[in-house]
A and B are shown apart, each in its own frame.
Chain A
Amino acid sequence: MKKNNLYFLLNISIIMLIIIFIIIANKKFDSYVIRILNLCAIYIILGVSLNLINGFTGQFSLGHAGFMAIGAYVSALLYMSPELKEENFFITPLIWPLSVIQIPFVFSLIIAGLVSAGVGFLVGVPCLRLKGDYLAIVTFGFSEIIRVIFNNLQNVTNGPIGLKGLPIYTNLWWSFGIAILTVLVVKNLINSSYGRALKSIRENETAAEAVGVNLFFHKSLAFAIGAFFAGLGGALLGSFIMTIDPNIFSFLLTFQLIVIVVVGGLGSITGTVISAIIITVLMEVLRSVEAPMNIFGLHLPGIPGMRMLVFAILLMAVILFFKKGLMGKKEWFWDGLFKKCFPSKER
Chain B
Amino acid sequence: MSVLKADNITMQFGGLAAVSNFFVELKEGELVGLIGPNGAGKTTIFNMLTGTYKPTKGKIYFYNKEINGKGVDRITSLGIARTFQNIRLFSDLSVLDNVKVGAHVHIKSSVWKAIVHWPSYLYEEENIHEQAINLLKIVHLENLKDHLAGSLPYGEQRRLEIARALATSPKLLLLDEPVAGMNPQESKDLMKFIQEIQDKFKLTIILIEHDMKVVMGICKRILVLDYGKTIAEGNPTEIQNNPEVIKAYLGVEATSYA
Residues of A within 8 A of B (CB): 185, 188-189, 192-194, 196-197, 199-200, 202-204, 206-215, 221, 329
Residues of B within 8 A of A196 (CB): 93, 97, 100-101, 104
Cβ B88 vs Cβ A197 within 8 A: no
Given contacts A199-B93, A212-B105, contact A192 B77 (CB under 8 A): no
- Looking at B136-144, B160-168, B205-213, the stretch in contact with chain A turns out to be B160-168
Interface residues of A, dominant DSSP: helix
B73 surroundings in chain A (CB, below 8 A): 209, 212-215
Number of interface residues of B (CB under 8 A): 37
CB atoms of B92 and A193 under 8 A apart: no
Q: Which residue of B lies closest to A199 (CB)?
A: B93
* B77 engages A212 (CB within 8 Å): yes
- The answer to whether B125 and A193 have CB atoms under 8 Å apart is yes
10 nearest interchain CB pairs? A212-B105, A212-B76, A203-B90, A207-B88, A192-B114, A209-B72, A200-B101, A211-B102, A214-B73, A212-B73
Expressed in whole angstroms, the minimum distance between the Cβ of A12 and any Cβ of chain B is 14
Q: A189-B115, A193-B125, A194-B111 are in contact. Are A211 and B167 (CB under 8 A)?
A: yes
* Residues of chain B having any CB pair with chain A under 8 Å: 50, 52, 71-73, 76-77, 81-82, 84, 88-93, 97, 100-105, 107, 111, 114-117, 121, 124-125, 128, 164-165, 167-168
- Please tell me if the beta carbons of A193 and B107 are within 8 angstroms of each other in the complex: yes
Q: What are the residues of chain B within 8 A of A213 when measuring CB–CB? A: 73, 101, 104-105
A188, A193, A211, A215: the one within 8 Å of B128 (CB)? A193
B165, closest chain A residue (CB): A211
Which of B88, B93, B107, B117 touches A188 (beta carbons < 8 Å)?
A: B117
| A220 shortest CB reach to chain B, Å | 11
Closest to A212 in B: B105
Q: A214 to B114, alpha carbons, bound, how many Å?
A: 17
Question: In the complex, what distance in Å separates the CA atom of A212 from the CA atom of B121?
Answer: 19
Supply 10 further A-B pairs (C-beta < 8 A) apart from A196-B97, A209-B72.
Answer: A192-B115, A194-B111, A199-B90, A200-B90, A200-B93, A207-B88, A210-B81, A210-B88, A212-B73, A212-B102
